[in-house]
Amino acid sequence: MNDFDVQDIRDELAKQRAEVAQHQQLMLKMKRIAQNPTMEKEDYEMLDYLRVAASRTEKAKRMGLPPLVDIQDTCSENPDP
């Protein structure tokens, strides 16, 4: 193994950790929304995010690509407090 291989592995590990953290953040946000019985602004934002994620996943399936949905693309304007 050379230095480039090691760096590639480190980059991939960092990418995977970031994806797991984003997924956990999304799940916590969905749990918080599900526990609140009234529809609020955050609920509508989550619905919009899920619609975008579903359309990207469907497009990736049609193109034969792995489904990649970046939470930062759709939620960057409204970060969690």
pLDDT attached to residue 1: 79
pLDDT at 13 over 90: yes
**What's the pLDDT tens digit per position in 20-73?**
998 898 888 888 877 877 777 777 888 888 888 888 888 888 888 776 655 444
What is the spatial distance between Cα 59 and Cα 75, in angstroms, rounded to a whole number? 20
Residue at token pair 């969690």 = 80
